[in-house]
Amino acid sequence: MNDYWIIFKFGNPGLFGLPDGDTTVMKSTNSAESHSDAIDMRSGHIIAYGAFSRYREPIDALTVTCELGTGVLSVNDNFFRVSIPASDKKSALRQAVTLIDEISRFLCVEYGCLFPYQILQVDCPDGEVDSQLTPSSLPLLRVTFYDLDKLKTSILQAANRSGLDDEKLSKALLYHEHAVLLYSLQSQLPYGSPHQSYVITSAYMHIWKSITVLLGDPANANDRRDYQSRSKKYGLKGGYWEEKVKPILNIRNSDDVAHYTLNDEAHERVKSSIGSAIEVSKEVIHAYSAFLRRSMDD
């Protein structure tokens, strides 16, 4: 088998300290210096500028090199190069996309936003370069502050936990990512639109699935015996289910999230609690993936 290099370009360039359209980009340590443009509320016109972007210095460009599955991941800014040993280009591309998808979903869990990407090219062992590839992307979300040290740690952690080949973890990551995607759509809808309720409740349901596919669901007969003990097994603190997961279940049941029948008051309760539900999903995914890695290393 020969090595193929597949090059991906990630969206959300602001997180990498790079220009991101009209979004103001600043290092997270400069957040106190941020202030928005002044807008005349009568006309809607900008009448004075706020803080300007401060992009990363050339010397601070994000660089990461680490093992990824059977290959190697090399990151420069938002360009991710994956080396994959494979028998042919199609197989190499399929393996690389699977690994990059997992990394993007782990980063989605960590940052609470989507990490879209496009495939730029495949460098083949014979020197051929295939750049006639269909971009794989999701709508970009705009960000303001970046922390390259945290991002580097997150990429290394995601790379370490990618390729664990666990069906439940893969489902949890996909459910979490889909919930973030759905929740991002509500901001694009007109205020008061009934579609907002559907999008938010669907996002809440997918976060619930992300949690319970790993910890178990008391509504499932197969999970009733051990759904509370799994959290301790995976390294979460004692009483985690009662303290963190049960409140999510209570809102799901009392506000009839599963049947999309929210009134205005219930809609606001779900909307105000989805942030904490996403954080619980993040903690559970981290704990479970770390548990799998420990089990493999033992």
Spell out the domain ranges in the chain: 2-161, 167-297
The DSSP secondary-structure symbol of 258 reads G
Give the pLDDT of residue 148.
92
163-167 own/partner pairs: CB under 8 Å, 24+ apart: 163/68, 163/69, 163/99, 163/102, 164/289, 164/292, 164/293, 164/296, 166/292
Q: According to the model, what pLDDT value does residue 260 have?
A: 63
What residue spans of 65-166 are helical by DSSP H? 89-111, 148-161
- Residue 141's pLDDT is what? 41
Q: What is the pLDDT of residue 47?
A: 67
pTM, 2 dp? 0.72
Please give the average pLDDT of every successive group of 10 residues along the chain, which has 298 residues.
92 93 82 64 74 88 92 95 93 90 92 88 90 50 71 92 87 94 79 73 91 88 79 88 88 70 73 89 94 82
Alpha-carbon distance 171 to 169, whole Å? 5
- Which amino acid appears at position 281 of this protein? S
Distances (CA, A) of 71 to 100, 158, 169, 289: 12, 14, 21, 20
